[in-house]
Amino acid sequence: MGRWAPDARGRLEQAALELYAERGFDQTTVAEIADRAGLKQRSFFRYFADKRDVLFWSQTALRELCVAAIMDAPEIVSPIDGVALALDHAAVVIEERSELVRKRKIVIAANPELRERELLKLVNLADAVAEALGRRGVDAVLANVAAEAGVTVFRIAYARWADQPGEVDLRQLLVDVMSQLHAVTARGSNRT
């Protein structure tokens, strides 16, 4: 699992995802999650604010990872390439956690409130990426458009990746969908 080792947090996350998948998110209690992870309920609240936080802490971590990738890049050659770099860093971690991530996706897909929360998190990701690009000297308007376009690419690639377990690499899919975006937006070159 690399940097995301199955410590107490990881065991709680694993237990929670299993229970959400088996019983449904709404039907699972924190006591049951702690019990399955072999931990006290108190431990749960050391790592997570609530049941929903188990599903969404990773989005916050990915957002921070994307921002760090942009801030640490030796040079931001173009806004969209800066965004692509950030998403590539995120994809590496998602691939490392692919089993958990796929379980998580199924749980979220089954619950409208969670689906909507997931979308809101992607808006936050775009905002954070745009802000980081701005701090690297990219014009605010272009940073906004590049970040939103990049997150759109991410969302499409991620959906395709989750639909084909083990068959495709998320990093490669990101490159493919980014190329498709370049193709559809190329002026005059994609007349059908």
Tokens standing for 183?
């193709």
Among 79, 100, 129, 158, binds a second copy (CB under 8 A): 79
Cβ atoms 61, 20 nearer than 8 A? no
Q: Is there binding between residue 135 and a second copy (CB under 8 A)?
A: no
Q: Is there binding between residue 183 and a second copy (CB under 8 A)?
A: yes
How far is 85 from 76, CA to CA, in rounded Å? 9
Write the Ramachandran bin of 125: left for phi over 0, alpha for psi from -120 to 50, otherwise beta.
alpha
Considering just the CA atoms, what is the radius of gyration of the chain in Å?
18
Q: Is there binding between residue 43 and a second copy (CB under 8 A)?
A: no
Query: How distant is the alpha carbon of residue 166 from its chain centre?
Result: 18
Q: Is there binding between residue 71 and a second copy (CB under 8 A)?
A: no
Q: Is there binding between residue 120 and a second copy (CB under 8 A)?
A: yes
Which stretch, 25-33, 40-48, 95-103, 109-117, contacts a second copy (CB under 8 A)? 109-117
Q: Is there binding between residue 108 and a second copy (CB under 8 A)?
A: no
Q: Is there binding between residue 190 and a second copy (CB under 8 A)?
A: yes
Helices 79-96 and 98-109: crossing angle in degrees, nearest 10, is 100
| Interacting residues with a second copy (CB under 8 A) | 76-80, 112-113, 115-117, 119-120, 123, 137-138, 141-142, 144-146, 148-149, 152-153, 155-156, 177, 180-187, 190-192
